[in-house]
Amino acid sequence: MMLKIPTINASTPSMGILPFSSRKASRFFGASADVFPPFLLKEMEKIEDPFARKLVSRIEMLPVELTSSKNCIMSSCVKPMVQDTASPLVLLHGFDSSCLEWRYTLPLLEQAGLEAWAIDILGWGFNNLENLPICNVDSKRDHLFQFWKSYIKRPMLLVGPSLGAAVAIDFAANHPEAVDKLILINANVYAEGTGNLSKLPKSVAFAGVSLLKSLPLRFYATNKAFSALPFDTCLEWTQITRLHCLLPWWKEATVDFMSSGGYNVTAQINQVLKKTLIIWGENDGIVDSKLSVRLHCELQNAIIRQIPNCGHIPHVEKPDAVADLITEFVPRQLPDTLSSLPVVPEQEQNLLVRQISHK
């Protein structure tokens, strides 16, 4: 018998964009000169997407000490602007990406009254890895746990898109005390790690990783990840996805992860007892949609929702639909007065609608 998956239709999003930080800022658009090196700020000024620019302006560095190496990592994240007494949302990202994935959806979640952190996974994003730590699965898990232990300190609703879903499952299986619920978006959780890539000679691995950050390959991957994306939008989103690749330690950190074998969480899936929401873009060109049904069957306490006319990264392509699904799934306490919730001018709302309404 075929499983009928409920769908949700996207509606016009209502964006809640927040004021810039008071930190020392670049003259371009509010990005902190205390967080980003000058060469990266120069690249960031080329980005026109106002939502990416505003999220960049909110990125901060928080110290996190790793248990294994005792390295103190200045860890990049976007801290919540809404404080809630319920379990906070912690937003991860996909493979070789950054918290900028959440540039459209995070403000919607905050406007709905949710406390949300966007965190860069160790080895990716804008974390300062000048003293390069090991970037294998154990270290990524330790980094997330130490971040949670130092700053969040409450069971969280952990949100993992794509390979971030494997990060979330691995974390929930090893630290169930830190997780209240899971939200998995177009989950890439059945890959057997990095496979033969882990056996490559280092010289070949470094050459391959150099290709990974090239503009043509990133453009191809971005185009494949979304559903019928216009050329100009695809190019802009490609530039955003590769910003963190320009950091001097990115190549070494990526090779270290690839050589370590990567994530293989298939055996951990049925160990996860937490209530889980599975979100799936029906036109995913990267992960077979049949795997979403398999995941729903193997998780012991899961519901599944499908977003029509959407590709592999719904929180970028259909932020309103994703925010609605998360808001429905997450219990929350609204602030005492609705006036304390973030709001945005109608002009910026219309800009987002035009940008994502590409069909």
E-strand stretches of the chain: 59-65, 72-78, 89-91, 116-119, 156-161, 179-185, 276-281, 302-307
Residue 91 pairs in a beta bridge with: 118, 159
Q: What count of residues does the chain have?
A: 359
User: How far apart are alpha carbons 104 and 344 in whole angstroms?
Assistant: 12
Strand order in the sheet with 179-185: 59-65, 72-78, 116-119, 89-91, 156-161, 179-185, 276-281, 302-307
Residue 78 pairs in a beta bridge with: 59, 118
Show the tokens assigned to 244. 């963190």
Q: CA angle at residue 138 from 137 to 144, to 5 degrees?
A: 90
The set of catalytic residues is: 162, 284, 312
Strands 156-161 and 116-119: unpaired
User: How far apart are alpha carbons 18 and 69 in whole angstroms?
Assistant: 36
DSSP for 264-289, written as a single string: --GGGGGG--S-EEEEEETT-SSS-T
Residue 312 CB coordination number (10 Å): 25
Furthest CA-CA distance within the chain? 59
Of 149, 115, 108, the closest CA to residue 16 belongs to 108
The dihedral region occupied by 292, where left means phi > 0, alpha psi between -120 and 50, and beta the remainder, is alpha
